[in-house]
Amino acid sequence: SYNTIVDSEFKAGRRTLLLVEDNITMINFLLQKLSIVYNVFCARNGAEALKKLHEITVIPDLILSDVMMDKMDGFAFARKLAEQERYCHIPLIFLTAKSTQADKLKGLKLGAMDFISKPFSFEELSQKIETLLDNISKQQKAILSTSIAHLQTLKNLEVDGPPASPSKFEENCKLLQFTAREIEIARLIIKG
């Protein structure tokens, strides 16, 4: 029916967005446009978005959220996200019809990367998403290569520590907050 929203078909190798918006027409419009390039998951308010985050197996690269929504508005949603270790790093862009200076400030304080005022041009939104994701991926690469260089200089790296005690390597990876995939890469690099 018109009122149901369906996530885009998931394609490996694409970046993933979570779209939180209570206006069905807007969701369907953005879904249609964004799913050409990204995997897009949808939710109609903050509460639904939190539930969705726990259901999906991937962690979105970016969240686009409306500010004014029933059940849980964008600001309350951002606050909830910030409390969850698994999701607090996800960049957030607010889409909003009301963007007073005070609102913007509030959103930025809650960790939003950007504010896009409705009505907006899709080109502007699309460009902002792309720039943000590119910057993040550059940062991640920089952090990863610095961390790997750092790991390689640590003399006391036991790649295979005794099974009972977590190895120095694992401790270091935890310290650097590596993802499982980064740990794998680091391990391979150290083993040569």
Q: What distance in Å separates the CA atoms of residue 66 and residue 51, rounded to the nearest whole number?
A: 17
Side-chain half-sphere CA neighbours of 125 within 13 A: 23
Confidence of residue 2 (pLDDT cuts 50, 70, 90): low
Q: Which pLDDT tens digit goes with each residue over 80-95? A: 999 998 998 899 999 9
Q: Are strands 39-43 and 114-117 parallel, antiparallel or unpaired?
A: unpaired
CB atoms near residue 99 (< 10 Å):
16
- The residues, ordered by sequence, that sit 6+ positions from 14 with a Cβ below 8 Å of its Cβ are 37, 38, 39
* pLDDT beyond 90 at 36: yes
